[in-house]
Amino acid sequence: MPTISKKGIQMPASPIRKLTPFADQAKREGKKIYHLNIGQPDIETPEVMLNALKNIDFKVWAYTPSEGTLSYRTKLAEYYNKINYNISPSDILVTNGGSEAITIAMQACLNPGEEVIIPEPFYANYNGFACSADIIVKPIMSYIDNGFALPSIAEFEKVITEKTKAIAICNPNNPTGYLYSREELEALRELCLKYDLYLFSDEAYREFCYDGREFLSPMHLEGLENNVVVFDTVSKRYSACGARIGCIITKNNELYQTCLKFAQARLSPSLEGQIAGEAAVDTPDSYFEAVSKEYTARRDVLVAGLNSIDGVFCPNPGGAFYVVAKLPIDNADKFCQWILEEFDYNNETVMMAPATGFYSTPGAGQNEVRLAYVLNQDDLKKALKCLEEALKAYSLR
Amino acid sequence: MPTISKKGIQMPASPIRKLTPFADQAKREGKKIYHLNIGQPDIETPEVMLNALKNIDFKVWAYTPSEGTLSYRTKLAEYYNKINYNISPSDILVTNGGSEAITIAMQACLNPGEEVIIPEPFYANYNGFACSADIIVKPIMSYIDNGFALPSIAEFEKVITEKTKAIAICNPNNPTGYLYSREELEALRELCLKYDLYLFSDEAYREFCYDGREFLSPMHLEGLENNVVVFDTVSKRYSACGARIGCIITKNNELYQTCLKFAQARLSPSLEGQIAGEAAVDTPDSYFEAVSKEYTARRDVLVAGLNSIDGVFCPNPGGAFYVVAKLPIDNADKFCQWILEEFDYNNETVMMAPATGFYSTPGAGQNEVRLAYVLNQDDLKKALKCLEEALKAYSLR
């Protein structure tokens, strides 16, 4: 029997999905599960987007250009220029979800063995993409005590070597919900210019900023045109995770042309996804206002609820729809499995993502979990009650 | 400015799409272009598939399981079991097009620097996928004179080294249209067992076999369960290239679980694509009968037309919808550019794919082009006339 590749063996299983078999088993046993483990919002996709899908009028479901249709990229550029990105359609490369955007950019920018610095905890699949591209993630620690703020520039400089090629941030952050400030972005700007680094900016959660705080992108900073690579997706913005439409944005034309070669190899993003994505740009402001109001309320319920449980600490995030909370446990992987396998409260339980999968430093985050507030407030309250009872029961085992 | 990666520089541009700027310019000048360069059929997508898209009733466009929905995989297994693959839904991993299936399997099976043997000419993007995965394509030559039959087993054995991990075939073949015989597949079976190699079988064109010839897959061979990895896609079968829905099929569970980790990193294939793909399995036989009849007629027009031009030779392929033809020219890249840039016949011209991009051996295929018979017979005849006149004019320059 032929062997599996080393990369295949090293490739991490998704920490968000790896507990799925235990959840499936719990469901078979009749338990109701509150899914706080995955960033799949329950919010409805905008009607304009679903209607575009229902009203498709092509007879041949054809390839599009590898970079995406001009029509979609033109409309997308409008969206980005409303928020002052000052880009043209030729700066946008449409991808199969944000995931493919990251994979392509990593391969186009970094040689095998080169390094990207990422504040941890970070979106777990960055590990998978890096493993797949044979590049090295250099984590630097951010801390729950200050809400996971950007580590100091001195911390970045400590790990910069000749192999460092890029810094990656996710803003607002998955998994911490942290929203970077202008000062933090300016500091990254200086660092990237000083060391000639790419700045990868994963902006999947751009539309989810709370408490009146403004979203700022490295795209808004001057002099970084050749360094900044934005990753975006319709997944969260329009609650359309299943559409698998994302994009790379860069004003660095040489890099764009290189990414395009990777895109040409896989031929095309989906036609209907781009049609729907184009329609989505006309989603009315009222949709986002309602969504933002709902997420703010959910965040408030979840953060307050968590902090009211004995021994639990959860900072109040400025964006996205995740929190990372510290629990009075010593091993989140075991606890998150236990709560599915061996616990229920009135025949209900909670699925969470152990935070260890979001850290690259071994042993970090062992008493933390990520919770996505993608359920309505009533369900969140029930999930919180479950968690509270579970922690009591766990401590008494 | 940060540098581009070596891989990014080495990554080949698509030979099928790289002449697009010249075609665009020709169109701006008012020329009509017959597109024989790309495998985008003009055949209409089955109504059952388009209707499934129009009738979607979800409110939240959600992620699916990383391996694809159970519902779609169950239906797909029915399709495959009708043609005696004897598989279960858990042997199928749904991917973003056939392209992603190949990328994932290459990475799961081969270490960087390991080798896959592929008879050339081969589907050009295998070079891109291999470059992306840092693996080495070892080409062995097949020849136009015998219609691009499988090279002898002795030729395979000449290039097998300790680094050889897999053999890849595309059957029926893109770009040659060659349909492998049972004897050829049996020979590959022995070889893969003898040297413990994976056998990658790209079956995108399975439904397109002509002259009453039967399609055979390595899936039909006994004792190869741990070696065979099939790549498939809805793109050609249902003329749905823009849906980006493909799959990996393997009965090797260890390999399946490894591929699943790569699939988990990119989260999910598209929801609506799977819904439409599931509906597509119910496409009536009459659709395929009509399509097969049409392609056979087109092939006959194209092959006869090509062979009637002075100095042109084109074997008669048994499947797919491509031919590779030898032209009386010395550099197909230059000719295919020239015919777009500097030639027209009644203000019309032809876009073809230079065959050099389908060879990995430098200098091979310089007098060959790939033609896709994805246009109706009238247009094919006009394109043939254009080509004939172009060859005359080219020889007189």
* pLDDT at position A22: 95
CATH number, position B70: 3.40.640.10
Whether residue A15 contacts residue A359, with contact meaning beta carbons closer than 8 Å, is answered with no
* pLDDT at position A134: 94
Same domain, B30 and B88: no
In angstroms, the CA A121 to CA A108 distance is: 24
> Mean pLDDT, to the nearest integer, of A211-233?
96
In angstroms, the CA B145 to CA A352 distance is: 62
Which of A28, A51, A60, A69 to mutate to probe the B interface, most B CBs <10 Å?
A60
Query: For residue A267, is it within any domain?
Result: yes
Q: What is the pLDDT of residues A40-96, one digit of tens each?
A: 888 999 999 999 999 999 999 999 999 999 999 999 999 999 999 999 999 999 999
* pLDDT at position B371: 97
Whether residue B122 contacts residue B129, with contact meaning beta carbons closer than 8 Å, is answered with no
* pLDDT at position A49: 98
Chain B: residue nearest A106 by CA? B5
In angstroms, the CA A93 to CA B16 distance is: 19
* pLDDT at position B38: 84
CATH number, position A301: 3.90.1150.10
In angstroms, the CA B272 to CA A61 distance is: 13
Same domain, B228 and B367: no
- Taking only the tens of pLDDT, chain B with its 397 residues reads 899 999 999 999 887 777 988 999 999 999 999 999 987 888 999 999 999 999 999 999 999 999 999 999 999 999 999 999 999 999 999 999 999 999 999 999 999 999 999 999 999 999 999 999 999 999 999 999 999 999 999 999 999 999 999 999 999 999 999 999 999 999 999 999 999 999 999 999 999 999 999 999 999 999 999 999 999 999 999 999 999 999 999 999 999 999 999 999 999 999 999 999 999 999 999 999 999 999 999 999 999 999 999 999 999 999 999 999 999 999 999 999 999 999 999 999 999 999 999 998 999 999 999 999 999 999 999 999 999 999 999 999 8
Query: For residue B1, is it within any domain?
Result: no
In angstroms, the CA B318 to CA B212 distance is: 9
What total of structural domains would you count in chain B? 2
Which of B57, B264, B287, B375 to mutate to probe the A interface, most A CBs <10 Å?
B264
Count Cβ neighbours within 10 Å for each residue of B258-278 and write b for 16 or more, e otherwise.
bbbbbbbbbbbbbbbbbbbbb
* pLDDT at position A41: 86
CA distances from A76 to A91, A201, A295 (A): 10, 17, 25
Whether residue A284 contacts residue B287, with contact meaning beta carbons closer than 8 Å, is answered with no
CB < 8 Å to B62, chain A: 40, 241-242
Q: Coil, strand, or helix at residue A133? A: coil
Cross-chain Cβ contact B1/A100 below 8 Å = no
Query: For residue B176, is it within any domain?
Result: yes
In angstroms, the CA A391 to CA A23 distance is: 18
ipTM: 0.95
Same domain, A372 and A253: no
Same domain, A224 and A321: no
Same domain, B264 and B296: no
Cross-chain Cβ contact B2/A53 below 8 Å = no
Query: For residue B64, is it within any domain?
Result: yes
| Cα torsion through A351, B253, B100, A167, rounded to 10 | 50
CB < 8 Å to B160, chain A: none
* pLDDT at position A258: 97
Query: For residue A179, is it within any domain?
Result: yes
Same domain, A155 and A248: yes
Q: Is the pLDDT of residue A15 over 80?
A: no
Same domain, A371 and A263: no
Query: For residue A1, is it within any domain?
Result: no
Cross-chain Cβ contact B265/A99 below 8 Å = yes
Residue with tokens 């591929």: B259
CB < 8 Å to A252, chain B: 1
Same domain, B72 and B158: yes
Query: For residue B253, is it within any domain?
Result: yes
Query: For residue A222, is it within any domain?
Result: yes
CB < 8 Å to A264, chain B: 13-14, 17, 125, 128
* pLDDT at position B83: 96
Cross-chain Cβ contact B8/A197 below 8 Å = no
Of the three residues B246, B280, B314, the one that is the final residue of a domain is: B280
Domain ranges, residue A213? 47-280
Q: What is the pLDDT of residues A307-360, one digit of tens each?
A: 999 999 999 999 999 999 999 999 999 999 999 999 999 999 999 999 999 998
Question: How distant is the Cα of A308 from the closest Cα of chain B, in angstroms?
Answer: 32
Chain A: residue nearest B277 by CA? A61
* pLDDT at position B18: 77
Same domain, B250 and B316: no
* pLDDT at position A17: 73
Same domain, B15 and B164: no
Cross-chain Cβ contact B125/A265 below 8 Å = yes
E strands within chain B? 32-35, 92-95, 115-120, 136-141, 164-170, 198-202, 228-233, 246-249, 322-326, 348-351, 353-354, 368-372
Cross-chain Cβ contact A40/B63 below 8 Å = yes
* pLDDT at position A191: 97
Q: Is the peptide bond before B175 cis (omega within 30 degrees of 0)?
A: yes
Of the three residues B280, B311, B342, the one that is the final residue of a domain is: B280
Same domain, B59 and B151: yes
Q: Is the pLDDT of residue A14 over 90?
A: no
CB < 8 Å to B196, chain A: 1-2
* pLDDT at position A18: 77
Q: Is the pLDDT of residue A159 over 90?
A: yes
Helix (H) or strand (E) holding A248: strand A246-249
Cross-chain Cβ contact B239/A110 below 8 Å = no
In angstroms, the CA B244 to CA B100 distance is: 9
CB pairs under 8 A between A and B: 268
Specify which residues A363 forms β-bridges with: none
Cross-chain Cβ contact B270/A100 below 8 Å = no
Whether residue A107 contacts residue A133, with contact meaning beta carbons closer than 8 Å, is answered with yes
List the single residue in A8, A14, A262 with the smallest CB-CB distance to B11: A262
Q: Quickly list DSSP for A13-24.
A: PPTTTTTHHHHH
Same domain, A54 and A39: no
Spatial neighbors of A206 by CB under 8 A, at least 6 apart, are: A83, A171, A172, A215, A217, A232, A237
Supply the mean pLDDT for chain A: 96
Of the three residues B250, B280, B310, the one that is the final residue of a domain is: B280
Q: Is the pLDDT of residue A103 over 90?
A: yes
* pLDDT at position A5: 96
List the single residue in A2, A244, A271 with the smallest CB-CB distance to B96: A244
